[in-house]
């Protein structure tokens, strides 16, 4: 006999089903020729995975960033807690942020030791957790209590973290690189020689592979003879060591 899952309460919201079934970290079909076009965001309102180039068209929707940890999809615990109760799900720390796995991760080898066992996939866990992923907890609730609604939470707005990188145009990146190489408070090089010689403080900015460094010399300590000698050395023929 066929039973309607909605009648007995065995249902999942569409956004939760999207987190479980959508494929992430694959190329976006809408931005095939763009760089960094991997789908690492889930739009909860559209129930689909998107790439960073799609964010402007979904800027008013609820968005969750999906990350990769040990070849599995994870989300920040802070974000998922706004949507569903994630207690008893083992969390991990990545770049000072706590994350939880989205899908089941069956353990191939039998665990021989002390600790808890996941309620769905028999994976070994630390105390006091009993679920290794969000998907395991959802399956456990639907299997045991038949109702998921008490664990769901109302969340009207959910945006990406401020440090999330959104690709810019190549011209914008070039401008940012140009400005970043100029030190603040320094005048641009390439001005007339008379201005540089008459300035009370002469500054030389040199670029090396290791970075930029500035060295300042006081004009009062450098005489005119030393300055002319240095200029003639730069323009003269380079001295070579004799052949042995």
232: in domain: no
How many other β-carbons are positioned within 10 Å of the β-carbon of residue 25? 14
How many domains are contained in the chain?
1
**pLDDT given for residue 233 in this prediction:** 55
C-alpha dist (Å) from residue 235 to 15, 203, 230 = 70, 20, 9
Does the pTM exceed 0.75? no
**pLDDT given for residue 234 in this prediction:** 53
User: CB–CB of 116/106 below 8 Å?
Assistant: no
183: in domain: no
For the chain, list residues with pLDDT below 50. Answer: 1-9, 169-220
Nearest residue to 135 (alpha-carbon basis) of 107, 101, 92, 106: 101
**pLDDT given for residue 96 in this prediction:** 87
Q: Which domain holds residue 65?
A: 14-154
**pLDDT given for residue 122 in this prediction:** 78
186: in domain: no
164: in domain: no
**pLDDT given for residue 131 in this prediction:** 92
65: in domain: yes
Please tell me the distance from the alpha carbon of residue 45 to that of residue 70, in angstroms, as a whole number: 28
223: in domain: no
**pLDDT given for residue 112 in this prediction:** 61
The residues near 25 (Cβ < 8 Å, ≥ 6 apart) are: 38, 39, 40, 66, 68, 73
Residue 59 phi, psi dihedral angles, 5° rounding: -65, -20
The residues near 16 (Cβ < 8 Å, ≥ 6 apart) are: 83, 84, 138
70: in domain: yes
> In this predicted model, what pLDDT tens digit does every residue of 89-121 receive, in sequence order?
999 998 888 999 999 887 666 656 667 888 888
169: in domain: no
């Amino acid at each position: 006999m066929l039973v309607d899952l909605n009648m007995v309460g065995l249902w999942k919201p569409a956004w939760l089903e999207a987190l479980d079934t959508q494929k992430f970290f694959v190329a976006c079909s809408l931005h095939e020729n763009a760089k960094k076009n991997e789908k690492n965001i889930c739009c909860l309102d559209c129930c689909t995975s998107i790439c960073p180039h799609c964010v402007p068209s979904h800027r008013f929707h609820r968005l969750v960033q999906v990350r990769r940890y040990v070849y599995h999809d994870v989300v920040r615990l802070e974000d998922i807690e706004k949507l569903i109760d994630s207690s008893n799900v083992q969390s991990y720390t990545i770049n000072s942020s706590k994350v939880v796995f989205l899908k089941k991760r069956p353990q191939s080898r039998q665990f021989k030791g002390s600790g808890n066992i996941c309620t769905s996939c028999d994976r070994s866990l630390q105390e006091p957790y009993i679920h290794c992923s969000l998907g395991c907890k959802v399956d456990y609730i639907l299997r045991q209590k038949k109702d998921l609604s008490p664990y769901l939470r109302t969340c009207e707005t959910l945006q990406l973290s401020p440090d999330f990188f959104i690709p810019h145009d190549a011209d914008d990146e070039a401008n940012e690189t140009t400005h970043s190489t100029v030190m603040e408070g320094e005048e641009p090089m390439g001005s007339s020689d008379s201005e540089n010689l008459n300035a009370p403080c002469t500054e030389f900015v040199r670029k090396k592979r290791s970075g930029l460094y500035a060295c300042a010399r006081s004009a009062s300590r450098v005489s005119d003879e030393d300055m002319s000698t240095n200029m003639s050395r730069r323009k003269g023929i380079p001295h070579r060591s004799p052949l042995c």
